[in-house]
Amino acid sequence: MSGSNRPRKYDKPEIPTARQLAAEALVRIDEDDAYANLVTPKLLAQSKLDPRDRRFVTELVYGTTRMRRAVDHLLAPHVLKPPPAIATAALRLGAYQLHYMKIDDYAVLSETVNVVPKGLRGFVNGVLRSVTRSRVVWPDRATRLSYPDWIDRWADETFGDDAERVLSAMNTPAVVARRDDGYVQDPASQLISGLLDTQEGHRVADLCAAPGGKTSALGGDVVAVELNEARIGLLVGNLDRLDSKARVVRADAVHPPLRPASFDGVLLDAPCTGLGVLRRRPDARWRVQRRDMDRLGALQTEMLASAAALVVPGGRLVYSVCTLTDPETVDVVATLGEEFVPVGLPEPWEPQSHGARLVPDIGHDGMFAAVFTRSG
Ligand SMILES: C[S@@+](CC[C@H](N)C(=O)[O-])C[C@H]1O[C@@H](n2cnc3c(N)ncnc32)[C@H](O)[C@@H]1O
What confidence tier does 324 reach under pLDDT thresholds 50, 70, 90? very high
CA of 60 relative to ligand 1 center, distance in Å: 29
More confident call, 53 vs 4: 53
Q: Is 315 in the pocket of ligand 1 (CB under 6 A)?
A: no
Whether 208 and 326 map to the same domain: the answer is yes
Whether 150 and 127 map to the same domain: the answer is no
Find out whether 52 and 60 touch, Cβ atoms under 8 Å. Answer: no
Length of the chain: 376
Average pLDDT, the chain: 95
Q: What is the pLDDT of residue 376?
A: 77
Find out whether 26 and 65 touch, Cβ atoms under 8 Å. Answer: yes
User: Which CATH number do you get for residue 18?
Assistant: 1.10.940.10
Average pLDDT over residues 305-331: 98
The CA distance from 74 to 58, in Å, is 22
Whether 358 and 214 map to the same domain: the answer is yes
Whether 364 and 242 map to the same domain: the answer is yes
What confidence tier does 4 reach under pLDDT thresholds 50, 70, 90? very low
CA of 271 relative to ligand 1 center, distance in Å: 5
Structural domain that includes position 367: 173-374
Per residue in 157-184, pLDDT (tens digit) is 999 999 999 999 999 988 899 999 999 9
For residue 211, the ligand 1 atom closest to its alpha carbon is: 9
The pLDDT of residue 7 is above 70: no
Q: Please indicate, yes or no, if residue 6 is contained in any of the structural domains.
A: no
Q: Please indicate, yes or no, if residue 278 is contained in any of the structural domains.
A: yes
Which amino acid type is present at position 341? V
Q: Is 179 in the pocket of ligand 1 (CB under 6 A)?
A: no
Whether 300 and 361 map to the same domain: the answer is yes
CA of 236 relative to ligand 1 center, distance in Å: 14
Name the residue of 185, 206, 226 to mutate for ligand 1: max ligand atoms within 8 A of Cβ. 226
Average pLDDT over residues 215-240: 97
pTM above 0.75, yes or no: yes
The CA distance from 12 to 40, in Å, is 22
Q: Please indicate, yes or no, if residue 317 is contained in any of the structural domains.
A: yes
CA of 226 relative to ligand 1 center, distance in Å: 6
> Which DSSP symbol is given to 163?
H
Total of domains in the chain:
3
Whether 157 and 179 map to the same domain: the answer is no
Bridge partners (DSSP) of residue 206 are 224, 267
The residue annotated as part of the active site, out of 322, 333, 367, 369, is 322
Whether 179 and 324 map to the same domain: the answer is yes
The pLDDT of residue 14 is above 90: no
Q: What is the pLDDT of residue 174?
A: 87
Establish how many alpha carbons lie within 13 A of residue 73's alpha carbon, considering only the half-sphere containing its beta carbon.
Answer: 19
Whether 264 and 342 map to the same domain: the answer is yes
Using CB atoms within 10 Å of the CB of residue 123, give its burial: 0 to 12 exposed, 13 to 18 middle, 19+ buried: middle
The pLDDT of residue 230 is above 90: yes
Q: What is the pLDDT of residue 322?
A: 98
Q: Please indicate, yes or no, if residue 159 is contained in any of the structural domains.
A: yes
Whether 149 and 276 map to the same domain: the answer is no
The pLDDT of residue 12 is above 90: no
Find out whether 108 and 94 touch, Cβ atoms under 8 Å. Answer: yes
Whether 218 and 360 map to the same domain: the answer is yes
Q: Is 283 in the pocket of ligand 1 (CB under 6 A)?
A: no
CA of 208 relative to ligand 1 center, distance in Å: 4
Q: Please indicate, yes or no, if residue 340 is contained in any of the structural domains.
A: yes
Find out whether 256 and 207 touch, Cβ atoms under 8 Å. Answer: yes
Whether 109 and 164 map to the same domain: the answer is no
For residue 299, the ligand 1 atom closest to its alpha carbon is: 19
The CA distance from 271 to 189, in Å, is 14
Residue of minimum CA distance from atom 19 in ligand 1: 252
Q: Please indicate, yes or no, if residue 7 is contained in any of the structural domains.
A: no
Find out whether 44 and 62 touch, Cβ atoms under 8 Å. Answer: no
Whether 232 and 336 map to the same domain: the answer is yes
Annotated catalytic residue 272: no
CB-CB neighbours of 9 under 10 Å: 6
The CA distance from 87 to 21, in Å, is 14
The pLDDT of residue 5 is above 80: no
- For 14-25, the DSSP string reads SS--HHHHHHHH
Find out whether 91 and 127 touch, Cβ atoms under 8 Å. Answer: yes
First to last CA, the chain: 86
